[in-house]
Structure 1
Amino acid sequence: MPIAPMPAISPYNRLGAAYIQGMKHLAAPVLALSLIASPLAAQDEEPPSLMEQGAKLFLEGLMKEMEPALQELESMTDEIEPMLKDFAAQMGPALTDLMGKVEDWSVYHPPEMLENGDIILRRKTPEEIQKIEEANPEIDL
C-alpha cells in the first residue's frame, strides 16, 4: 500500500503540534500527581458484630414505636405555640419588671396562690437563709 504524502503544514498546524508536544511533557507529571493525590484504596470494613446489629435493630424499632407519639407532640406544639407567644407578649413586660426587682430568687419561698386568687412571694427569714447556706457550702472550682 502506498504511503500518502504529508499535507503542507500551515501555521495553525504548527501551533497545534507545539501545543500537543507541550502537553506530552506535562502528561507524566500530571499523572504522577494525580496518583499521589488520589485517596488510597480503602480497606474492606469488617461486618458489624451481632451486638452492633442488635443495637441498630433495637433503635430502629424504638424509633418506629416513638414516631406516632412524636407526631402527636409536634401537632400539640403547633396548637400551643400561638398561645405561648400571646402569653409572652402580655406578660413579658411584667416579668421583666419583676426580674429587675428581685436580685436573688433563692431568698424567696415558692409562689403561693391565696383563696382569693392573689399570688404572693414570701421572703425567707434570715434563719432560713442561714440554714440553707450551712447545708450547701460554696465549692471552689
Structure 2
Amino acid sequence: MIRIYPFALAACLVAAPLAPLVPSALAQEAGTGAETPEGTPEETPHTGPSLMERGADMFLRGLRDELDPTLQDLKGLAERMGPALQSFVDEMGPAMAQLSEQIEDWKLYEAPEMLPNGDILIRRKEKLDPEAPDSGETQPETGPGGEIEL
C-alpha cells in the first residue's frame, strides 16, 4: 500500500481549526448520550454535536491515528540528525555569510554544478561587460610613455 504523507499532513493542517470540537465530541461518545428513555433522540437543537461535528471528529481521529507513526519516525529522525545539522551550521555558517556578501542577487546566477574533480561552480546567467567600470579599485594613472609612477 502506498502512503501519501504530504497529503495527509496537508489535510491535518487544513482540519486543525476543527480540533476544539474534538473534546466535546469525545465526551458525547463516552456516554452522555442524548436519547430519551423511549429510545428516540431529543428534539433540543444544541444538546450534542451535529453530524458535521461528529464527522469532523471521526476524520481527525483517523487522520491522527494514521499520522502518529509517521510523526514518531520524524521525531526520531530529528533527534538523530540534530547534532549533525548543528555541526554543519557551525562549520558552514561563516562561509555562507561570506558567500552571501559577495552575491548581491541570487536570481542573477545559475544553479550550482559540481565538476568531476569536486569543485562547485556557480555561474552567472548574464556575463558582466568587461568594458564596464569596476566598482572596486581604480587603475593607476600612467605618465608619458605608459609609465606608472610608484
TM bracket (short chain): 0.5 to 0.7
Per the alignment, in what secondary structure is the counterpart of residue 83 of structure 1?
helix
Q: CA deviation at 1:79?
A: 0.3
- Is 1:103 the equivalent of 2:104? yes
Q: Distance in 2 between matches of 1:71 and 1:45?
A: 38
Instruction: Tell me the amino acid that sits aligned with residue 100 of structure 1.
Output: E
Q: Distance in 2 between matches of 1:45 and 1:52?
A: 12
Q: Which runs of 5+ in 2 are unaligned?
A: 1-44, 128-150
Per the alignment, in what secondary structure is the counterpart of residue 63 of structure 1?
helix
Q: Distance in 2 between matches of 1:105 and 1:66?
A: 37
The C-alpha deviation readout for 1:23-80, integer Å capped at 9, x for no partner, is xxxxxxxxxxxxxxxxxxxxx8342221221111111111011111101110110000
Q: Distance in 2 between matches of 1:68 and 1:96?
A: 38
Q: Distance in 1 between matches of 2:113 and 2:71?
A: 34
Which residue of structure 1 lines up, in the alignment, with residue 67 of structure 2?
66
Q: Which runs of 5+ in 1 are unaligned?
A: 1-43, 127-141
Q: Distance in 2 between matches of 1:54 and 1:69?
A: 23
Which residue of structure 2 lines up, in the alignment, with residue 75 of structure 1?
76
Which residue of structure 1 lines up, in the alignment, with residue 12 of structure 2?
none
Q: Cα RMSD between the aligned structures?
A: 1.5
Q: Distance in 1 between matches of 2:51 and 2:75?
A: 35
Instruction: Tell me the amino acid that sits aligned with residue 71 of structure 1.
Output: Q
- Is 1:88 the equivalent of 2:104? no
Q: CA deviation at 1:103?
A: 0.6
Which residue of structure 1 lines up, in the alignment, with residue 132 of structure 2?
none
Q: Distance in 2 between matches of 1:51 and 1:90?
A: 52
Q: Distance in 2 between matches of 1:91 and 1:66?
A: 34
Identity of aligned residues (%): 47
Name the TM-score, length of structure 2 as normaliser: 0.52
Which structure shows the higher helix fraction? 1
Q: CA deviation at 1:108?
A: 0.2
